[in-house]
Structures are given as structure tokens and as C-alpha cells.
């Protein structure tokens, strides 16, 4: 699969746009009709002018009417072509992004050390946006150019084989001057794409590390890194632009030579009315223009190939979930117990993240998990949340009445409502309180949100929350204190009414008062939610029913 993708990634993406094939085909048909109208207009206009110049005669009214119809038709077709191509472009954008996000959902987060969120973000945004216009418009243009050229050669055959051969020879010349530079153009295009991707990745890293950059006074170094990579893009882009300009000049010479050859072939034929010679030249030139443009497009496909390859690699990310024969219906009314049996996990690099571990947590119990750094506490949390798959062992959930089910046998939607994680650095997004809460439960009402915030010990009262649930949080939750942020993320989790709640170092950066407020909120979950608290703080662990030590 990956080998075929690398061989022709642009074709590899076509199946993911199956719903838009008919629209893409219609765009090509409209483009062909539009170009035919332009060629007809060029022929009619040249004939009318030649008739007036050579014979001092005025063309019949039918020619004028045909020209006016061609002008109107071209205007309508141009508008329609742009309208449908933009509409299809948006749908292709949506189709590719949905396929891409499906791939990310399967393969992210992964245990692969080389996976980089900045690169994935650049793929999801920049690469897909570049490809939408290619598939919605450029492909139709290429197909239309090919059809028009074949039809043009066929129409010239009755006029004389030498005239048709002159046109065909011009096409061969276009290919001849283009083919030798394809490899060089591909190399330069790949260098441009790699350089631009490096800038995107660095930009994402710098933005995510803004506070650290400001805190350590690293603005000049960050600017220097970004400037250096931008100069690298500019350098290789200039080389590519110069190469493309040279190729464009060579193709223009080919077009000019072809027009001259067609003219000479037509002039040398006895019986050809001189009035039609300019029309033939104009039609040939108008026909060759999109063909030359299509050949030029083929020489510039490397950036699109590189983008298509990255998108396909994202779509084809290996699933990190085990195969399950059939999902199991399992929806207990009370808290959920969990049984971890001989679970192990190792990163792709070979570093053991969690050695063989077993533990049992009864429904409704509050268990604290501690251990030295590297013992696998966070790894265990992500395994419980099915973000990663254990290399060996099983994780089983149990209801209060004794029913059990394998973790991976639960359907994804019901699992996500039953088991929830709140981490130390759980994301808070720019937007209002309600916007953030809707990430957990899009159907949550204002009353649901206020109730969850009250339960988490963060009532929206006073001057701080004058707009209530419409209060803006700010990027990365900058308007929240550490304690508010922790309780805010807890409230978001409580919206789901989870049956198992995993807290991973949620109190790590809190002061004593904020820690107590959060622990009080957690203690109120007793009897309705099973809680697993992962922490290195003794004060946090002391609030648990019992404690399990990893790495011993």
C-alpha cells in the first residue's frame, strides 16, 4: 500500500473523493465547452477582420450573431465553471480532511517517537488546501486540454494531413522541451516543499512554546531560527522560479513555431481561401494555449505530489486498536470497576514504559497510584483510556452486579462517556466557558454546565464571571489560575457523568488551597464514580481509599 502511494500519491487520493467524481467530470465538460466557445470566438473574430481587411467586405449577419452568442456563452460558462469548481473544491477539502482526521484518530496519539504534531497540523491545513484546487480545477483543465487537442488534430485532417501534422509536431516539441527538465523540476519542487514544511513545523513549535520563549528571553534566537528557515525557502524558491521561467520561454517558442508551421502548411495548399488563414492561425493559437499550460502544469506537480504523499500517509496511519469481533453492549447504572492483568507496554524505540502490572479497583473505589518517575503511571492512564494498546495483558471493566467486559469490546461512543481522563495539562481552548464545555458534550445546556462547575467547586459568581457561561477563557486558558484550570477541566469531565474518572497529576502544580478545593470536589463523587488518582503528592494520595505503588 505505502509503496503504491509513494509511486503515484496523486492517484492514491482519488478513491477518497469518490462522492465528488461526477462533479469533477462535469467541471471538465464545462471547461471543454468554455474553451470551444473561446476557440470559436477567435475563429469568427479573425474571419470577420480578415474579410474586412482583405476584401473590404462586411461579414454576414449570421457571423456577427454567432460571435455575440459565443461571447455570452463564454461569460456564462466561465461563471458556471468557477462556481462549480469552488463548490467542489470545498467538498473535496471536507472529504480529504475527514479522511485525514479518521487516520489521525486511528494513529494518534501513537507510540512512535518520530510523530510530530506540528507536521500533522501542517498536513491537515496547508497540504489539503493546496490539493483542493488541484482536484477541483487543475485536473479538469488537464483533461479538457487533452480532449481539445485530440479533437483539434482530427478537425485539421480534412484540411490537409500536413496541417494536422504541423499541429501534432508542435505538441511533440512541447513534450520534447519539457521532459528533460522534469526530474530537475521535481527535485527543486521537493526541496521547496521540504523547506516550507520545516518552516511550518518550527512555527507550530515556537507558538506552542511562547511562554517559555518569553520567560527565557529567547525571542532573538526564535526569530533567527525562523528567519534562517525562511531564507532557505526563498533560496530554493528562486531557483525553482528561474527554472520554470526558462521552461515557459521554451514552450512559448514551441507554440510560436507551431503556429508558423500551421500557417505555412495552410498557405502552401492550393484552393485554400486566404480569408480563412488568419482564422486558422487564431484557432490554432487558442487551441495550443491550454495545451501548453497543461504541459507546464505537469512540470510543476512535484509540490502537489509531496502534499498528496503527506496526506495519504496521514490517512493511512496504522490503527492503534486491536481487532474486535463485535462490540458488546455494556452500560451499567453505577460506577465501573477495573481489572488490569499482566499489562505491559513498550515504545517503538524499545524503551519499556510500563513493566508487567496488575491491579484491581472495585466499583466506586478511590484508588491512588504512585511511583518513581518512569514507573509508567501516565502510560497506565493512557492505556486505561484506550489511547494506546498494551503489548500484552488485559484490561477488563466490571459493573457493580459482577458483569465484566474487555475494554476494547466496548463501542467507542459509549466507552468515551463511561471513562474519562483529566491530565495535568488538559487543554483549555480559546472561546467561552460554554464553548469549552461543549467539547465534552455538545448537547449540554447552560444549566448542565453550571451544575458541573458547581460540582467541581468552581461556581460562576462574582465580577470574574460577569458573563456567566459566555465568559471568554482566553487562549490556552490564560485567564484561569492553576486551581481554576484544574477544576474547570474536572467540570468538563463531569459533564459526561463518567463511571470511571482517571486523574493524572491533576494537582501537581496547585497550591495547598487549590489542591484541597479539587480534592473536595472529587470526594463528592463517592458512590457514583470510580476514581483513579495518579500523583506524586502525599497530600493528594492521602485523600484516596487506598494506594498502589508502581515500579516496586
Within 10 angstroms of residue 98's Cβ, the number of other Cβ atoms is: 12
The answer to whether the beta carbons of residues 94 and 19 sit under 8 Å apart is no
Q: Please give the pLDDT value at position 2.
A: 46
Residue 498 burial by Cβ neighbours in a 10 Å radius (0-12, 13-18, 19+): buried
Residues 437, 428: Cα–Cα separation, whole Å: 10
Q: Please give the pLDDT value at position 5.
A: 47
Backbone angles phi, psi at 58, to 5 degrees: -100, 135
Residue 417 burial by Cβ neighbours in a 10 Å radius (0-12, 13-18, 19+): middle
Within 10 angstroms of residue 11's Cβ, the number of other Cβ atoms is: 11
Q: Please give the pLDDT value at position 139.
A: 84
Residue whose C-alpha cell is 488563414: 277
* C-alpha cell recorded at residue 529: 464514580
* CA proximity to 496, closest of 432, 396, 422: 422
* C-alpha cell recorded at residue 494: 463531569
Provide the Cα torsion 395, 396, 397, 398; round to 10°: -150
Q: Please give the pLDDT value at position 342.
A: 93
Q: Please give the pLDDT value at position 108.
A: 60
Q: What is 337-549's CATH number? A: 3.40.50.300
Q: Please give the pLDDT value at position 3.
A: 46
Residues 500, 180: Cα–Cα separation, whole Å: 64
Longest pairwise C-alpha distance within the chain: 106
- In the chain, where the domains are located: 2-315, 337-549
Q: Please give the pLDDT value at position 348.
A: 67
Residues 269, 179: Cα–Cα separation, whole Å: 33
Within 10 angstroms of residue 427's Cβ, the number of other Cβ atoms is: 10
* CA proximity to 226, closest of 269, 196, 185: 196
Helix, strand or coil for residue 532? strand
Q: Please give the pLDDT value at position 103.
A: 76
Within 10 angstroms of residue 103's Cβ, the number of other Cβ atoms is: 21
What's the whole-model pTM score?
0.64
Measured in whole angstroms, how far is the alpha carbon of residue 404 from the centre of its chain? Answer: 39
Q: Please give the pLDDT value at position 152.
A: 81
The per-residue pLDDT string of the chain (552 residues; one tens digit each, 9 = 90 and over) reads 444 445 678 888 888 888 888 888 888 888 888 888 888 888 888 888 888 888 888 888 998 998 899 899 989 988 988 888 888 888 888 888 888 877 776 666 555 555 555 566 666 677 787 788 888 888 888 888 888 888 888 877 887 788 888 888 888 888 888 778 777 877 887 788 788 878 877 887 787 778 788 888 888 888 998 999 999 999 999 998 888 888 888 888 888 888 888 888 888 877 778 888 888 888 888 888 888 888 777 777 777 887 888 888 778 777 666 666 677 788 888 899 999 999 998 876 677 888 899 999 999 999 999 988 888 898 899 899 988 888 889 999 998 888 889 988 888 888 888 999 998 878 888 888 899 899 888 888 999 999 989 888 888 877 778 888 888 887 776 778 888 888 888 899 988 889 999 999 888 888 888 888 888 888 988 888 999 999 999 999 999 999 999 875
Residues 18, 51: Cα–Cα separation, whole Å: 50
* C-alpha cell recorded at residue 422: 483529566
Q: Please give the pLDDT value at position 323.
A: 66
Q: What is 2-315's CATH number? A: 1.20.1560.10
Amino acid at each position: 500500500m505505502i509503496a503504491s502511494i509513494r509511486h503515484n500519491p496523486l492517484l492514491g487520493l482519488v478513491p477518497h473523493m469518490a462522492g465528488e467524481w461526477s462533479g469533477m467530470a462535469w467541471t471538465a465538460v464545462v471547461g471543454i465547452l468554455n474553451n470551444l466557445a473561446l476557440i470559436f470566438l477567435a475563429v469568427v473574430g479573425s474571419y470577420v477582420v480578415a474579410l474586412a481587411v482583405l476584401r473590404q467586405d462586411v461579414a454576414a449577419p449570421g457571423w456577427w450573431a454567432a460571435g455575440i452568442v459565443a461571447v455570452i456563452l463564454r461569460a456564462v460558462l466561465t461563471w458556471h465553471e468557477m462556481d462549480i469548481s469552488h463548490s467542489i473544491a470545498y467538498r473535496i477539502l471536507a472529504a480529504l480532511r475527514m479522511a485525514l482526521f479518521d487516520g489521525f484518530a486511528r494513529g494518534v496519539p501513537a507510540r512512535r517517537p518520530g510523530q510530530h504534531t506540528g507536521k500533522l497540523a501542517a498536513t491537515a491545513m496547508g497540504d489539503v488546501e493546496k490539493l483542493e484546487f488541484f482536484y477541483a480545477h487543475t485536473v479538469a483543465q488537464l483533461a479538457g486540454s487533452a480532449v481539445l487537442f485530440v479533437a483539434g488534430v482530427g478537425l485539421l485532417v480534412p484540411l490537409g494531413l500536413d496541417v494536422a501534422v504541423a499541429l501534432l509536431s508542435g505538441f511533440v516539441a512541447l513534450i520534447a522541451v519539457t521532459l528533460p527538465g522534469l526530474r530537475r523540476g521535481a527535485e527543486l519542487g521537493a526541496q521547496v516543499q521540504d523547506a516550507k514544511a520545516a518552516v511550518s513545523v518550527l512555527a507550530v513549535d515556537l507558538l506552542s512554546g511562547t511562554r517559555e520563549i518569553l520567560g527565557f528571553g529567547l525571542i532573538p534566537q526564535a526569530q533567527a531560527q525562523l528567519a534562517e528557515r525562511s531564507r532557505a525557502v526563498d533560496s530554493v524558491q528562486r531557483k525553482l522560479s528561474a527554472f520554470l521561467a526558462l521552461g515557459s520561454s521554451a514552450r512559448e517558442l514551441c507554440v510560436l513555431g507551431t503556429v508558423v508551421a500551421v500557417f505555412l502548411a495552410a498557405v502552401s495548399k492550393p484552393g485554400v481561401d486566404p480569408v480563412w488563414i488568419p482564422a486558422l492561425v487564431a484557432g490554432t493559437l487558442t487551441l495550443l494555449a491550454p495545451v501548453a499550460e497543461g504541459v507546464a502544469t505537469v512540470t510543476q506537480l512535484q509540490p502537489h505530489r509531496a502534499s498528496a504523499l503527506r496526506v495519504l500517509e496521514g490517512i493511512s496511519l496504522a490503527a492503534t486498536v486491536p481487532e474486535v469481533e463485535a462490540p458488546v453492549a455494556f452500560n451499567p447504572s453505577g460506577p465501573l470497576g477495573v481489572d488490569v492483568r499482566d499489562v505491559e507496554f513498550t515504545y517503538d524505540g524499545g524503551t519499556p514504559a510500563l513493566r508487567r502490572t496488575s491491579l484491581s479497583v472495585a466499583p466506586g473505589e478511590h484508588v491512588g497510584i504512585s511511583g518513581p518517575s518512569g514507573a509508567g503511571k501516565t502510560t497506565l492512564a493512557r492505556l486505561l483510556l484506550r489511547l494506546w494498546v498494551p503489548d500484552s495483558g488485559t484490561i477488563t471493566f466490571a459493573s457493580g452486579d459482577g458483569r465484566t467486559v474487555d475494554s476494547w469490546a466496548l463501542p467507542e461512543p459509549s466507552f468515551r462517556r463511561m471513562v474519562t481522563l483529566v491530565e495535568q495539562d488538559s487543554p483549555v481552548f480559546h472561546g467561552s466557558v460554554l464553548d469549552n464545555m461543549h467539547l465534552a458534550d455538545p448537547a449540554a445546556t447552560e444549566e448542565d454546565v453550571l451544575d458541573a462547575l458547581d460540582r467541581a467547586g468552581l461556581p460562576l459568581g462574582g465580577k470574574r464571571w460577569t458573563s456567566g457561561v459566555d465568559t471568554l477563557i482566553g487562549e490556552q486558558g490564560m485567564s484561569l489560575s492553576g486551581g481554576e484550570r484544574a477544576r474547570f477541566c474536572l467540570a468538563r469531565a463531569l459533564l459526561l457523568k463518567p463511571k470511571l474518572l482517571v486523574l493524572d497529576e491533576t494537582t501537581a502544580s496547585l497550591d495547598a488551597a487549590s489542591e484541597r478545593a479539587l480534592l473536595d470536589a472529587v470526594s463528592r463523587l463517592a458512590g457514583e464514580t470510580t476514581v483513579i488518582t495518579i500523583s506524586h503528592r502525599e497530600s493528594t494520595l492521602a485523600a484516596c481509599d487506598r494506594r498502589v505503588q508502581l515500579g516496586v
